[in-house]
Amino acid sequence: MITININCELNKVLHYRCSKDFILNKHVILISSISLKNSAGFRKSVKRLSNLKYFIDPEVEHVLVFATGTKFFDYDIYLNRHILLMDKASCLPCLALSPPPGSTVLDACAAPGNKTICLANYLKNKGVLYAIELNRRRFKELNANLKSAGVKCAHTLNDDFLTVALPFDEIDYVLLDPSCSGSGIRNRADDTKVIDEERLERLSALQTRMITHVMTKFSKVKRVTYSTCSIYSQENEQVVETILDQFSDTFQLVDFLPEWPSRGQTERTRACLRASPDDTLTNGFFVACFERIIKIDIQ
């Protein structure tokens, strides 16, 4: 799947005249979205796609769906960064957050920058977008990707999210996609045969600490997304349950895609989304969206 980049709107991409006539070529066919209104119809439509046929994703804004194996790398539309190659599941945290233009947003673990670019799309490059990356090499990669994508609103920081000084009271939205086991990535499928419980415990503790940092330090934050490319409940539902236990008076889960077929595995996490190759034709993924509870004082 591809997502439309910040420097090119959807209607421009659909009519983009690249050197090899990629999108405009008469042999490139836009498939009707009529059959995509439910998950079964979506899966059926995707599996029927052939080379140079595509459709507009019915759920995630700015996303076009192409057949597996479509070769983009020889086309100007890709080389000029008008499109960004992404798995659909990776776009879900940005959709859940949906920060309006002019907002102040934080991408807490930003490299390589794909989600940062998606956030800039929602902001329409208007507002402030902090992007933090601790690793120096990945920080350079982040900056290069944001520059080539035309992102103008980002302020990048090579620092530790848990200790960096930020204007905490000014940040409206936080996207947290921290280090995880990566067990949902399809080419790592063999790694899931042996579960390292100690590693999962360490990751879960770090993930919980990072969300707790957001909930306690960012006093004006309106919405927070937590996501992993993990299939394990230790990194997903269990982390969310812990946060709900601690912050149920101030934050609640948002069910942002109620028709999504695969949900959180416990009663309290039904609003969370899961994705998988079988259910959604994506990598394994998990998304939770927290929203601050607005309390009204009644005198």
Residues making up the annotated binding site for S-adenosyl-L-methionine are 109-115, 133, 160, 177
Helix (H, G, I), strand (E, B) or coil at 16: coil
Based on the residue annotation, tell me whether 229 is a catalytic residue of this protein: yes
**Which residues does residue 29 pair with via DSSP β-bridges, in sequence order?**
53
User: Which residues make up each annotated binding site?
Assistant: 109-115, 133, 160, 177
Alpha-carbon separation of residue 285 from 68, 93, 114, 187, 226 (angstroms): 19, 10, 15, 14, 11
Q: Following CA atoms 69, 70, 71, 75 in sequence, which dihedral angle do they give, to the nearest 10 degrees? A: -170
Return the structure tokens found at 285.
Answer: 């993924």
Instruction: Characterize the bridge pairing of strands 53-56 and 29-30.
Output: parallel
Region of residue 88 (left: phi > 0; alpha: psi -120 to 50; beta: else): alpha
> Following DSSP, what letter does each residue of 40-67 receive, concatenated?
HHHHHHHHH--TTEEEE-SSSTTEEEE-
**Which is catalytic among the residues 8, 229, 272, 289?**
229
DSSP state for residue 270 in the 8-state scheme: T
Which residue is listed with tokens 């059926």?
44
Return the structure tokens found at 198.
Answer: 């100690």
Residue 269 and residue 288 in contact, taking contact as beta carbons nearer than 8 Å? yes
- Please name the residue ranges forming H helices in the chain: 10-14, 39-48, 76-79, 88-97, 114-123, 136-149, 197-217, 237-247, 277-280
Alpha-carbon separation of residue 242 from 117, 151, 209, 238, 245 (angstroms): 30, 35, 10, 6, 5
- Residues with a catalytic annotation lie at 229
